[in-house]
Structure 1
Amino acid sequence: MDLLENYKKAWNNQPIDSNTLTKQQIYNMAHSKSSSIVKWIFIIGLLELAFWVGINLLIPDSIYKIYEDFNLENQVKFFMILHYIVIIIFLYFFYMNYKKISAIENTKKLINKIFKVRKTIKYYVYYNLAIVFLSSLVINSVMFSNSEKLMEVVNPEDLPVNVSQVITVTIISQIIALLIFMVLLWLFYKLIYGILLKKLKRNYKELAKLDSEN
């Protein structure tokens, strides 16, 4: 059972004259847990940024060569730089949220800040899913608009094949790969940030209840 729940039950079962002190303890516990959660959100964001940088460094030159063949270097660089900039902006917000929550001593202000933190995390998840979909849509649209160049890439040995069939299979494969990646990415965020959001929501409810009882 959550430690905050234990404090709450203990407070409800105590005599009225001791409620004030224990109520403050419950607030302190919620404040400490919320601050810790936001700190972990910031740390996870840093690890995620490091992960994406590492992935880009490990991408083989052959992949970049394909982008060059389709004149997609600028588009790829644009989405990559945009992604890094947006992640850094969100990291800034995560850090500032942590600093503000750590310094808050007013129940209503803490409740409002927890609410804003939860909204920021949701926007961050939505952004990541959207950028994956949008960048894939733009890049693949350019690639499939040039069927001759696409056939050179997927059939470099110029084997006798049905061009329309190959392109159709390639499109379907790309769509399936994109869907699988987005589902895995969504599950990752659901697991990591979902757990943290659930804990923040619990603290939010506890603080709101304490504030309504004042």
Structure 2
Amino acid sequence: MDNFDLDSIKQKWKEQDVPTIYQDTDIQKMLNHKSRNYVKYIFWISALEFLIFLLLNIYYIFQDSSQSSLLHILQRMGVENTVELQADFAHLLFGMKIFSLLMTGIFVILFYVNYCKIKVQQSLKSFITQILKFRKVVNLFILTNIALLLVYISVLCWFIFYIFSKQNIAFDGETLAGFIVGLAIATAIGIGLIWLYYRVVYGIIMHRLGKNLEQLKKIEQQKDI
């Protein structure tokens, strides 16, 4: 026991080559596979949104409840509910719904095209580039939905003022102030709900995709050294 040297044994233990369980290529394949799955999840979520919007639009077209409620608000503001007004308003709402569906459908197609372009077997640099492009499309989709809300509110405001001008109805100061404040509050709530929805639904997936992307970039940098 006199020859027992604990420090020497520790040093020899540290100098031993510890075999790595996973190589960089294995980690890369795993990250690529996970990232592609995240892209697939976003595609299916957007496709589900499109289907839900389509079904809701079909429902409201037959029920016509959204048009009736908005026209009721206009009547309370002094607007005469004529047949011409109902027709113009119905055409406006229908056009907005179709445009909304069209924009959502375009992004569903873009998500699917990007998903098809992302291949697990492709080079790491190409894979990273494709993921970055996909993230830009997702961010553009979120901003487009917020922009659409602002555009629709602007169009509705223009239509309301057009009807007031056509029927020679004057806004008094109190009514105009209440209308502007109510519109501003509704717009802020609408933007907040849209942002919250996409932060929760898309944000979780995009966060995980971002973490995978950072790890893939580190592997790429190590290859370049």
Task: Provide the TM-score with structure 1 as the length reference.
Answer: 0.77
Larger Rg: 2
Q: Is the 8 A contact 1:72 1:139 kept in 2?
A: no
Other-structure match for 1:132:
149
For residue 114 of structure 1, the aligned residue among 120, 125, 131 is 131
Q: Structure 1, residues 77-116: CA drift from partner, whole Å, max 9, x if none?
A: 3322222122111111111222221354211111001100
Q: By how many angstroms is 1:199 displaced?
A: 1.4
- Give the 5 Å matches for 1:137-152: 137-147=154-164
Other-structure match for 1:78:
95
SS in 2 for 1:72: helix
Q: Structure 1, residues 31-88: CA drift from partner, whole Å, max 9, x if none?
A: 1111110010011101111222233234352432439626233333332222212211
Other-structure match for 2:108:
91
Other-structure match for 1:210:
219
Q: Is the 8 A contact 2:36 2:120 kept in 1?
A: no
Identity %: 27
With over 3 angstroms needed to count, the CA separation of the structure-2 counterparts of 1:191 and 1:15, relative to structure 1, is farther
With over 3 angstroms needed to count, the CA separation of the structure-2 counterparts of 1:202 and 1:147, relative to structure 1, is same
Rounded to whole Å, the distance in 2 between the matches of 1:31 and 1:190 is 23
- Tell whether 2:66 aligns with 1:63: yes
Q: By how many angstroms is 1:16 displaced?
A: 7.9
SS in 2 for 1:105: coil
Which deviates more from structure 2 when the two are superposed, residues 75-84 or residues 21-30?
75-84
Task: Provide the TM-score with structure 2 as the length reference.
Answer: 0.74
Other-structure match for 1:54:
55
Other-structure match for 2:78:
none
Runs of 5+ in structure 2 lacking a partner? 1-15, 75-83
Q: Is the 8 A contact 1:97 1:117 kept in 2?
A: yes
Letter in 2 for 1:143: I
Letter in 2 for 1:87: T
CA RMSD of the aligned region, Å? 2.8
Which deviates more from structure 2 when the two are superposed, residues 33-42 or residues 91-100?
91-100
